[in-house]
Amino acid sequence: MIFLGGLAAILPDATRAQPKQKIYRIGYLSAPSRESVRRILDAFLQKLRELGWIEGTNISIEYRWADGDIARLPQLAAELVQSNVDLIVAPAVSAAVAARNATSRIPIVMVFTVEPVELGLVSSLSRPGGNVTGTTFTAAAGFVGKLLETLKQAVPEVGKVGVLGNSADPAFNSQMGELDAAAASLGIQLQRFDVSGPEQLDALFSALAAQQIDAVVLTSSPTFGPYRNKVAELAIKGRLPMIASHREFSEAGTLLSYGVNMSDFVSRSAVYVDKILRGAQPADLAVEQPTRYELVINLKTAKALGINISPLALARADEVIE
């Protein structure tokens, strides 16, 4: 009895003496709204859980949402740096650039960026060399031009195409360069329209009609993500075939989308978070590129627009929405 009593007396002290598990603080810097990327975020968090990282147990996540306003990203990035998070996750190139401009110390996992070498985010894809690594949205230069080629294949009669983008996006100029090159080879006339927020959308589509635009290419800017339903509705109302780089737009009603399946590919970014939290250095982790793109065609929209999709495009489609 004396022994048991002594053991009971010391057990509480021994329990208290055990070291607590560290909770790593992750900053999540996103240009769109949370609702607009919910499926992608859920897939990312699910992969983290599979790798052993659970919110409230060994990680906490501080979210910063720009709600489509790219101009807010530098301030949101500064907030995360000032709060001294252990790592920053930055989906889209605008978020990655804002995070890299805010810190050269905190590891950054970029997600779905374009041209990370050209924009100075990494020294090379194989050896990033700094505090940034992660995944890219494109496998090689020229992807944005493929959007125009796919649009032309699906709707051969298009001749004058409007390009919607946000000039505040760091990648917009390079995307326009790729589109100009593709347009020259396809005999298409391009007209650029700069969009910084949703308040411009109604006037924008009126301008497209006034300029007699035949179809629209939506650049991969996070400005449009939170408003994809409205963008799709306006395109149908204006009888404009539209192609975007995210399948979520075709699901919302745009005619076409061509790009990486972000919900599938985002799990690769969670692997980078796992490696870095376990001690790896971003400088040594090669940037991963997608190996597959998918073409989604919305035939309900084609019917609403009164157009027939070419058999060649239909044969290429990975998914047809009917």
What integer pLDDT is reported at residue 19 of this predicted model?
55
Count the Cβ atoms, other than its own, within 10 Å of residue 303. Answer: 11
What angle do helix axes 38-50 and 262-277 make, rounded to 10 degrees? 40
Which tokens sit at 272?
Answer: 């980078």
User: What number is the average pLDDT over the span 265-283?
Assistant: 96
Asked if pLDDT for residue 142 goes beyond 80, the answer is no
Asked if pLDDT for residue 4 goes beyond 50, the answer is no
User: What number is the average pLDDT over the span 25-31?
Assistant: 97
Model pLDDT for residues 231-241, shown as the tens digit of each residue: 999 999 999 99
Grade residue 285 by pLDDT with cuts at 50, 70 and 90: very high
Asked if pLDDT for residue 81 goes beyond 80, the answer is yes
User: What number is the average pLDDT over the span 289-293?
Assistant: 90
Task: Quote the CA–CA distance of 217 and 77 in Å, as a whole number.
Answer: 30
User: What number is the average pLDDT over the span 80-90?
Assistant: 98
% residues pLDDT > 70 (the chain) = 93
pTM: 0.87
Asked if pLDDT for residue 66 goes beyond 70, the answer is yes
Grade residue 89 by pLDDT with cuts at 50, 70 and 90: very high
Model pLDDT for residues 153-192, shown as the tens digit of each residue: 999 999 999 999 988 888 888 888 899 999 999 999 999 9
Q: List the one residue out of 152, 108, 120 whose CA is nearest residue 241.
A: 152
